[in-house]
Amino acid sequence: MCGIAGILNKNNTGVTEDLILMLSCMHNRGPDGVAIQVGQNEINSLESSESSVPYTDGRFGLGHVRLAIVGGQLGRQPFTSCDGRLTLEHNGEIYNYKQIKNRLRSQHHFISDSDSEVILHFLEEELVRSASLVEALTKMAKILDGVYSIAVKDQKTGDIALARDLLGVRQLYYSEDPEQVTFASEQKAIWRLGGNKSVKRVMPGHAVIISNKGTLREYRIADPPRTLDSNKKNFRYNSLEEALKAYKKSLMSAMRKRTKGLDRIGIIFSGGIDSVLVAWLAKDMVKEVICYNAGTLDSSDILFADRVAKDLELTLKVNVITKKSTQEILPKIIYAIEDSDALQVEVALPIYSAMALAREDHVKVVFSGQGVDEIFGGYTWYPKIVASEGYSSLRNHMMEDLFLLYKETLEREDKTTMAHGIEMREPYLDKQVVRTAFDINPRLNVTGPNDKLGKQVHRILADQLGIPKEIAYRNKDAAQHGSGIHFIIDQIARENNFDESRISSGYLRDLEKREILGSSKRYGFKYGNKELWLTSPHIQLYLDRIFESVFGKSNSFIDTSGEEYLLTNRIIKKT
């Protein structure tokens, strides 16, 4: 895991100082190393405390901050290909990198054991046979098993490619203006350069090609597997026995590949079956497993998580959230997730607080139960969709939810954990687990309009693996309600004089224009209790004002983190 930054200046102006400025606000993403490469220079490590570094400036540069998990100290990026044609940075994890490396070893010189370097040499090999970098990236997307966002420069053509995995588990942003094109793992790195920049995402399964002149084109490089065909009527697994066997095989494989080489991991643990099953499997694969939870003292999540952890003999650490700690932490949450949407903030807050404990324990990797509801039909409104629209419509809604996770959940959770220098892994979003889930007849997971639990195959497997039925079949509250966060933020907003009287008709019109994020808001309104999912305008206004105090009204950068970074005071000498 790491942070990527890059700049292409259209006016031949040097980029080094701006590049270092971008890296300075992503230090949390890379506590184990930082380096830049500008123009044709060698990689320049910026980890020493020297006051100056001799350097030749250039119009294009890549910067990288690194959280070292695979590859050791030799895994410093950017990497340069054997023939000197490609320079690459990667953020993510590739789980089949050793198999790919074995195929490439005889033709390429590897300088590290990093999974990231394998991507570089794969593209180098493919460009011998491919007509373009886009073709090589398309082949790469078919071969890689893992998650990624990458930036790669082709010195031969001058093109720069930005690419992202199919589900968008790892994010990458970019911005273009008359002066330069910039890209980074977090928006704040782009905002830091000022100028009220308009930031876009590299879309999941896509590549953005930036030409040497600074023009941009977008290409699709990865398509959903055939098993996710929206018109599919014949399913591979139609019996419960077949479904359970296939799911167990794919899930065990997903867990093994994500735990391999790790002696200690954390679990984002709510006490719900999704995180419980991950912890239950992990404890037989990893020497030390620590579960982390956060919420108000009497919240249902804390009470249930504590009881479950004791029943299953899991180590659990809890960060109790108070009104005072919430008020203090809200600006940090908004700074981390780069968003003021009430639902996003309320879900991020307990995870952020739990990860503070994981950071104290020097945990580098945490596992999440993210994705189960989307692929196994776990949301409470899904049975109501079956009742009114049928199973075919349910499957389409599930796929829509899955392919919107990138902006509704995954970006938020990546930034929330990485705010503490911790990588999050999502075994349920493994490529084979997703395929298997959508190969299962949806009637096995949502058994009918009166099925109040859903994800039956998932729950039955947990039961078969030894998790008590009362845990496997518990219907957990949404994170913001189960943790008690929603009610605390409401109190804080009112105590800061943000109540219904502050809401103007103009602000309400503005709220109506905002993008709806989350399955709960899209379908919960139609099929469930509207009041449960409705964002209170006075809470949203309060959070919007905090966002403005952190980033400014035009998203200009105001650092409220209170942390200084070594590079911000570094002077780069141009020679």
Looking at the annotation, which residues are catalytic? 2
C-beta separation of 57 from 71 below 8 A: no
CA–CA distance, 496 with 492 (Å, rounded to integer): 6
| d(C-alpha 431, C-alpha 446), whole Å | 22
**How far apart, in Å, are the Cα atoms of 179 and each of 10, 13, 194, 218?**
6, 9, 12, 20
> Exposed, middle or buried by CB within 10 Å (0-12, 13-18, 19+), for 196?
exposed
Separation of alpha carbons 280 and 155, rounded Å: 48
- How far is residue 351's CA from residue 356's CA, in Å, rounded to a whole number? 9
Give residue 358's identity as a one-letter amino acid code.
A
Strands 423-425 and 365-367, sheet pairing: parallel
d(CA 120, CA 453): 45
Among candidates 424, 385, 490, which has minimal Cα distance to 269? 424
Provide the β-strand partners of residue 4: 64
Helices (H), 496-572: 505-513, 519-527, 530-533, 537-551
Helices and strands (H and E) in the chain: how many: 24, 20
Quote the tokens at residue 488. Answer: 């605390």
Mode of pairing for the β-strands spanning 288-295 and 423-425 = unpaired
Alpha-carbon radius of gyration of the chain: 24
CA distance 433 to 455: 14
Of 417, 379, 336, the closest CA to residue 69 belongs to 417
